[in-house]
Amino acid sequence: MKIRVSYGTAVVLGLKKGKMLAKPTTAYFMTYYKGRCLNNCAFCVQARESKSNLE
């Protein structure tokens, strides 16, 4: 299993360089599985029933 972070989270943690108008107050971490996730969170593009393109 791999862990992904959102762009804003990566900037705040110093993993990426970037500028933001406002720093996020929440850190977003996402699990990564090949294919779809086992869960079905409505907000997530990796969700089991998501219609998003994985490529």
Q: Is the pLDDT of residue 4 over 80?
A: yes
DSSP letter for 37, please. Answer: -
Domain limits at 19?
1-55
Which residue bears the tokens 């791999």? 2
- Percent of the chain predicted with pLDDT > 90: 31
Determine if the pTM surpasses 0.95.
no
Can you tell me whether residue 51 is helix, strand or coil? coil
| 15 Rama class: left (phi>0) / alpha (psi -120 to 50) / beta | alpha
What is the pLDDT, as a whole number, of residue 43?
82
Mean pLDDT within 23-47? 84
Mean pLDDT within 12-28? 91
Mean pLDDT within 3-17? 91
